[in-house]
Amino acid sequence: MSREPIESEAAPKPIGPYSQGIVAGDFVFLAGQVGLDPATQKLVAGGAAAEAEQALRNLGAVLDAAGATLDDVVKTTVYLVDLADGPAVNEVYGQAFAAPYPARASVQVAKLPAGARVEIDAIAVRRAG
| pLDDT for 129 | 52
Please say if the pLDDT value at position 119 is more than 80: yes
Total number of domains in the chain:
1
**If you count DSSP H runs as helices and E runs as strands, how many of each does the chain have, helices first?**
2, 8
Please say if the pLDDT value at position 7 is more than 80: yes
- pLDDT, tens only, 24-71: 999 999 999 999 999 999 999 999 999 999 999 999 999 999 999 999
* DSSP string across 46-101: SHHHHHHHHHHHHHHHHHHHTT--GGGEEEEEEEES-GGGHHHHHHHHHHHS-SSP
Domain holding 102: CATH number? 3.30.1330.40
Please say if the pLDDT value at position 6 is more than 70: yes
Which domain, by its residues, includes 89? Answer: 4-125
